[in-house]
Structure 1
């Protein structure tokens, strides 16, 4: 026994089947999926019409067809992030500072400091207090008053 919804579906939707198939054939690249696409579209339309019958069934049919094709294309572009096989551990180097590397870096800095010492003179080993700045300035041949100006130029 046909319900009112079944009669509506036959008289308003199925009459456009030829036009729908031409539309799908023209816009869908996978010819072997056309019949599946049509059946899925009919199921969607029937379910939607069970909730509320559309005022313009033909426009609803073709708009739903466009949306279904868009959904399928999006679903086809999804890339799986599942591993394809056994995952082997990669041989990526981990940037950890080993004791040997740390000591080697310290030795290189010491040698570099020793290489610059004849050019710049000995450098103070600890933080220089305000009173010590004058001593350092005198040892380097800088007048105590000019020390701040020289420091200011260095920061610019």
Structure 2
């Protein structure tokens, strides 16, 4: 149960019910965003969370990301290594001899890598919460 909406059953139309439920779900999502960002900031000091693209990518390579938080519309240029299927910030790929190619935005590839690693991906919509972390953050499976 997510919550309750107050509507007069004799006057409520399907459109009114749908709008009320969508508004309730939107509010609940924003509350969950706040909890996630607060958890990220709290666990960062305990070695169970990281923020910033380079640190997040490092943990993704090790399979250590449980939940990936990405600020809506966050973008960063970088490179993609096609054989190993990983995004990188520098043109060097970890596999010897593999050549990377530049991409305007490696955030999409970062999200895909997180999903491949069975991480939950959460997009942070609220601008006030986006300002609290460095565009991308991760809650980790184990302590670093």
TM-score of the superposition, structure 1-length normalised? Answer: 0.18
Q: Which has the larger radius of gyration?
A: 1
Higher strand share: 2
Higher helix share: 1
TM-score of the superposition, structure 2-length normalised? Answer: 0.19
